[in-house]
Every structure is written in structure tokens, then in C-alpha cells.
Amino acid sequence: MKDRQPGASSMPWTGIVLSVQANFYLVRLDRSIELQEQPLATEQLLCTRRSRLKKLGQQVMVGDRVEIAEPDWLGQRGAITQVLPRHSQIDRPPIANINQILLMFALAEPLLDPQQLTRFLVTAEQAQLQLVLCLNKRDLLGYRAQKYWRDRIQAWGYQPILISLETGVGLTLLERQLRHRLTVVSGLSGVGKSSLINHFLPERQVSVGPVSQRWGQGRHTTRHIELFELPQGGLLADTPGFHQPSLTCLPTALGNCFPEIRHRLSQGHCQFKDCLHLNEPNCAVRGEWERYPYYLNLLAEVTEQQAQAKDMATPESRTKRKTSHQGQTEYEPKLETKRYRRPSRRQLQQNLQALDLDQLEQLTSP
């Protein structure tokens, strides 16, 4: 029989999901619902999801606010009965109720690639959340190089925070940006995301890995998403690093992910509402600005993705018409590529005859 706290038998307990592994959810209970007569037996419960939520297809994500009914305090277990409404959500990585994204890059080791940074910035802009850009390892560059990168990125429309986890410079300013917010840390592997959490939470000691000397890239050390509670207030989500984030926006929405384009459109307007800022007449965006070639490359990519998605959504592109012996029209799926089709005997004979003729001509030619 479950060990219940006095006076809490009929009260639903609420909390936030700190991590998800397989079908188990680590939930931190709210301190605001502690009983004055008796404190909580534990602050965290290892929970499962009720079968009713599974049938409804309700996903439980890191950062979700959930309700737990009748916790087992002795075994520190519980069952999630309801997921409370979310005010924000991103799918890659899957986290709910986010306030801001902390995009973390390194000025050196690995080297800062402007085009790669642009791709991450555009991916973060798609979420339409507050964005904090942090550049680590400033201790590896001199003052002039630091000023060069700061001025260059400010021209893009961002105010980067330059820090050094080695010397501690800039961490006080960054700490103010994280207070009382749920922040997702994103970026390349090896830029210092796990080291940042170890600085704010030294008792956690999240594993970190060196940058590969051969490839100039970091190695993945974070395997799953987890929320960490900061001493000054707020939650920090460490996410697995990746080298190539995917873009999911439409071609017409890509321009809104560039602060330079938003600024130019605020000063004027294009002739066409659906202007892609390519070769359209009277375009207010097209011109000489640094990241315009990066925009064109990403535009070509999302345009191709849209064309492929449209072909997959069209039944005629995925099926072929076939008439049965009874005169009924049927549709069967097309093969994706010809390399999976087995050639017919007639085709094989024609190929052999053509090969024999070619060899005969070579032997008889002078």
C-alpha cells in the first residue's frame, strides 16, 4: 500500500519534467505546494505515463508542467496523469515551456565558421524565442580579434556575449541573462556547453570531452536532454551537440530569420509581398551585405526541400495507375529509384546483342 503524506491524499501534485529516458520521467515537485505541517518527503519522483495519455498520443517532454496523482513517497515513484498547457515548444531538441535559447559557439578550437554560425542562428530564429548569443574561449584571442568578431556580429543584428570559462571573464553578465528563465543551451559539440553547466553547478560534474585535433570538432558528451536548476534561479537545459541543424521554414519565411532583412524591410518594402529577394524588381533587400550569400544558399536548400515535400504529398508522384483484368482501375506504389528494378530478359538480351555488335565492329575496323 502506498505511503501517503497526511492531508495530501486528494490533492494533485504538480511539477516539472527534468529529464526523459525511455519511458521514465524525472519530475521535480513544486515547492509552492509543500505542506506547512510536514515538508515533502522528496523533491523528485521517477514517474511513468498513465496509459490514458498513451492512448491519446500525449507526449511528455522535458520542461513540461505535469500533474501526478497519489505519489508513492516510500518508493519515490509516481504516475503522470495530465500534461498542463505549454506556452512554447521546440521539436529539435524536444523541450517545452522555454523562455530563451542560449546559442553557444567558440571563437577558437574549433574555429568560428560564419556560415555555420548563420545556420544555427537561423534555426534558433525559427523558434521565435529570445536569443542569447554566447562566444566562448575569448582567452585564446587577443583584443583586436575579439573586437573584430564583436563588431562583425553586431553588424548582423546581434549583441554577442564574449566569455571565457577558463578565466571566468564575462560569466557574470551571462548569469544575469539566465536568471528566472528556462534556457536551452544549443550549439556545436566541444564549444563548452557542458563546461558551462559545471561552472554554475560544480557538484553536478557533467562529462566534457576534448576537441578532436584531427577534425577540429568536438565530440558528443551529452547523450540526452536534462534540466539543471541554477542557484540564482532559473533552469538550464543541456542538449546534445550537433554539426548540421535542419531547417524547417518555408522559403517565404526564411527572410524573417535574418535581422538584416527585417531591418531593410522596416526602412522600405519590396514590390511583391512574396518576394524571395532574388531577382525580383524593386527589391528592398537585395544588395551588398555580408550574409546575403549565406541567405541565398539557405534559400536554395529550403526551396528544394519544399519541392521534395510537394512531390511526396502528390498521390500521382508516388503511385501509378493500373487496370485489372476485371476492368477496374487500381493504383500501386512506384519504385523510388530504377536501381531496385530487376531488368527483364528482353532487356538483358538487347544489352548482350549491343555488346556483341560493338566488339565485332572493333575487330573488323581497320
* DSSP per-residue letters across 76-91: TEEEEEEEPPPS-EEE
CB within 8 Å of 129: residues ≥ 6 apart: 88, 90, 98, 99, 100, 101
pLDDT of residue 243: 55
pLDDT of residue 111: 87
- Rounded distance, CA 51 to CA 66, Å? 15
CB 276 within 8 A of CB 251: yes
Task: Retrieve residue 8's grid coordinates.
Answer: 495530501
CB within 8 Å of 328: residues ≥ 6 apart: none
Domain 13-85 has CATH 2.40.50.140: yes
What residues does CATH 1.10.40.50 cover in the chain?
Answer: 251-308
- Rounded distance, CA 216 to CA 65, Å? 39
What single letter denotes the amino acid at residue 20?
V
pLDDT of residue 212: 45
Alpha carbon 341 to chain centroid distance? 37
pLDDT of residue 100: 93
CATH number assigned to the domain covering 251-308: 1.10.40.50
Q: In whole angstroms, how large is the CA radius of gyration of the chain?
A: 28
For residue 177, is it left (φ>0), alpha (ψ between -120 and 50) or beta? alpha
pLDDT of residue 195: 86
Q: What is the pLDDT of residues 4-15, one digit of tens each?
A: 454 444 567 999
Nearest in space to 129 (alpha carbons), one of 103, 100, 93, 87: 100
Question: Positive or negative, the Cα torsion across 218, 224, 230, 234?
Answer: positive
Please give the model's pTM, rounded to 2 decimal places. 0.73
What residues does CATH 2.40.50.140 cover in the chain?
Answer: 13-85
CB 141 within 8 A of CB 111: no
- Rounded distance, CA 270 to CA 292, Å? 16
Backbone angles phi, psi at 333, to 5 degrees: -65, 145
Task: Give the chain's residues under pLDDT 70.
Answer: 1-11, 31-41, 204-223, 241-244, 313-342, 352-366
Which of helix, strand or coil describes residue 29? Answer: strand
Q: What architecture does CATH give domain 91-238? A: 3-Layer(aba) Sandwich (3.40)
Nearest in space to 188 (alpha carbons), one of 207, 167, 161, 216: 216
pLDDT of residue 75: 87
pLDDT of residue 231: 86
CB 77 within 8 A of CB 71: yes
Task: Cis check for the bond before 245: say yes or no (omega within 30 of 0).
Answer: no
- Rounded distance, CA 308 to CA 317, Å? 10
CB within 8 Å of 264: residues ≥ 6 apart: 284, 285, 287
